[in-house]
Chain A
Amino acid sequence: METPYQDHINKAEFDHVYEPAEDSFLLIDALERDLHYLSEINPTFCLEVGSGSGIVVTAFGMAFPNCFCISTDINFKACTMSRSTAERNKVIFDTVNMDLITAFNDNLFDIILFNPPYVVTESKECGGKDITASWAGGLKGREITDKLLDMIPKKLASKGAFYLLLIRENIPEEVIEIMSKYGFKSEIIIERRVRNEQQLVLKFIKS
């Protein structure tokens, strides 16, 4: 997969929007590793939750020009940056300022991607709408992620796949357990150590 151009972004804008980092690129690498599977699904609609700069969803759109890409973010400035990143790279795209995926109809998306705010923090730190929302994950770094897990069974199309980035502190085993209760099987696509963080990308599909 190709890395999208980012030369339209002014560095100072990253004071307000999550700057692409190792986790963003790990998610892209996971998709690349799963390219064969993704080509077989031949997705029509792909949704990235919390798209930040838009780098991941834009990379996806560049690899799948027959797929309509859409994203949400709780931070309005992230939405405007995602929109400009897609436009700079000629990807057909739309974005909505939304809490997770609460305002979408059901059973739409063939692919859902999420690189969540995963840092373990106090509960009261998470739930903001500014740059803190890009990292503050509350208890176990999972408060935002767990809310999304609840919605996946309804929003994912029946043959769809959900890709989620986590760190070991998020206790991926528990996430796997929650999703298996919802009838999803899971697979670790990629795992990498970045400084003191062990990052991994999980894929969930209906079993």
Chain B
Amino acid sequence: MKLITHNMLTSKCIKGVLTGFPLAINATDIKIKEVDFNSEFITRVIPKLDWEVLWCAANSIGHSDGLPKTIEPKFEEDEEFLKKAHHVLLEIEVEEGHLTCPESGRQFPISKGIPNMLLTEAEVQ
């Protein structure tokens, strides 16, 4: 699971959970996989994300080094920043671990890099 994906996931489909976002990350195995840098792509993605959630997620797994907590207005001109964002969004892979619902504490396993967000019928709203 990449952190860009974590930014999109919620557990709000659990009965009684209101926002279910962001999910806490517990990683037992993290891999770094090199991905070609594409500044146009990164520039387009950033405004669509919840940056604070991304920063906290990266920080919680020990990978927020040099990543600013907030985005500057002219971030698209700062290549060094875009490269950091690229690394954090696309190159860090949580291979094993779990995600935790912030409200109910329900855990979702991550194995082989794939989060399992399946719920039982009794758990669903």
Contact = CB atoms under 8 A, between A and B. Distances in A.
B117 A102 contact: yes
A44 B45 contact: yes
B27 interface: no
A92 interface: yes
Interface centre among A44, A67, A68, A129 (most CB of B within 10 A): A68
A83 B44 contact: no
Contacts of A108: 8, 48
Nearest to B35: A92
Contacts of B97: none
Contacts of A97: 114-118
A96 interface: yes
Interface residues of A, number: 25
Contacts of B107: none
A45 B13 contact: no
A66 B44 contact: yes
Contacts of B13: 102-103
Contacts of A83: 112-114
B114 A76 contact: yes
8 contacts: A65-B41, A70-B8, A83-B113, A99-B119, A103-B9, A103-B117, A104-B8, A108-B48
Given A83-B113, A97-B117, A105 B9 contact: yes
B5 A96 contact: yes
Nearest to B112: A80
Given A97-B114, A104-B10, 18 more contacts: A65-B41, A66-B38, A68-B4, A83-B112, A94-B1, A96-B9, A97-B116, A97-B117, A98-B118, A99-B118, A99-B119, A103-B11, A103-B117, A105-B8, A105-B21, A108-B8, A108-B48, A129-B118
B40 interface: yes
Contacts of A104: 8-10
A74 B8 contact: no
Contacts of B116: 76, 97
Interface residues of B, number: 27
A129 B118 CA distance: 10
A96 B117 CA distance: 7
A65 B44 CA distance: 12
A80 B95 CA distance: 12
B106 to A, nearest CB: 11
Contacts of A68: 4, 41, 45
Contacts of B11: 103
B59 to A, nearest CB: 20
Interface in B5-44: 5, 8-11, 13, 21, 35, 38, 40-41, 44
B4 A94 contact: yes
B54 interface: no
B39 to A, nearest CB: 10
A104 B20 CA distance: 10
